[in-house]
Amino acid sequence: MLGSPLRQVNRTVYGLAPLRQTAAIHRGSGVQQFLPITGVAIVTLLALLALRYLWRNLRRRRRERLLGQLLTQADHFEAALKDCRDRLDAAHAVMTALPGGGDGGRGAALTAVNAGLRDLLAHRLWLRDRAPRADLGELQRALATMRRAQDRLADQVSALDVARNALAAALRERGIMQPRQ
């Protein structure tokens, strides 16, 4: 039946043989087309997963770096506040050497320094409690705030040093003994 004359006629008259060959070609190429598309999709998915991993890793490292900077800045700020308190005590010692020298605002200045230390403690508590959940923007704002506060304190300590040195020079001119600092 396969080689029958009727089949031969059908092939040549109706062109069935070329259609079968075309169908076989298309069936094969469909699988061949599917594999490259699947491969591209898998490679794209893997690339996206790798980018997501890198992005998260980058954010984690930025967070850790910011937290380290915040803690370091807090340590420096605390040391600066304690240094300011020591300088205030030294300035007070010079002022009390003057005849009729009084407090000279020492109480208010020490109150301000102690308030700064309390604020710093509150900031450290915020870091302990909120930093793990804080976003990068909050951490950057906290770091900027602490740096501004430390810059203001440094300006005030410089002004205190200038005033203390001027007072010490005035005491030397009058021959009044200066207490040890």
Across 32-41, 80-89, 91-100, the highest mean pLDDT is recorded for: 80-89
DSSP-H helix ranges across the chain: 5-14, 16-96, 106-130, 136-174
Q: What confidence category does residue 112 fall into, taking pLDDT thresholds of 50, 70 and 90?
A: confident
pLDDT at 24 over 50: no
pLDDT at 55 over 90: yes
Please identify which residue in the block is written with the tokens 């089949």.
7
The CA distance from 94 to 181, in Å, is 9
pLDDT for 53: 96
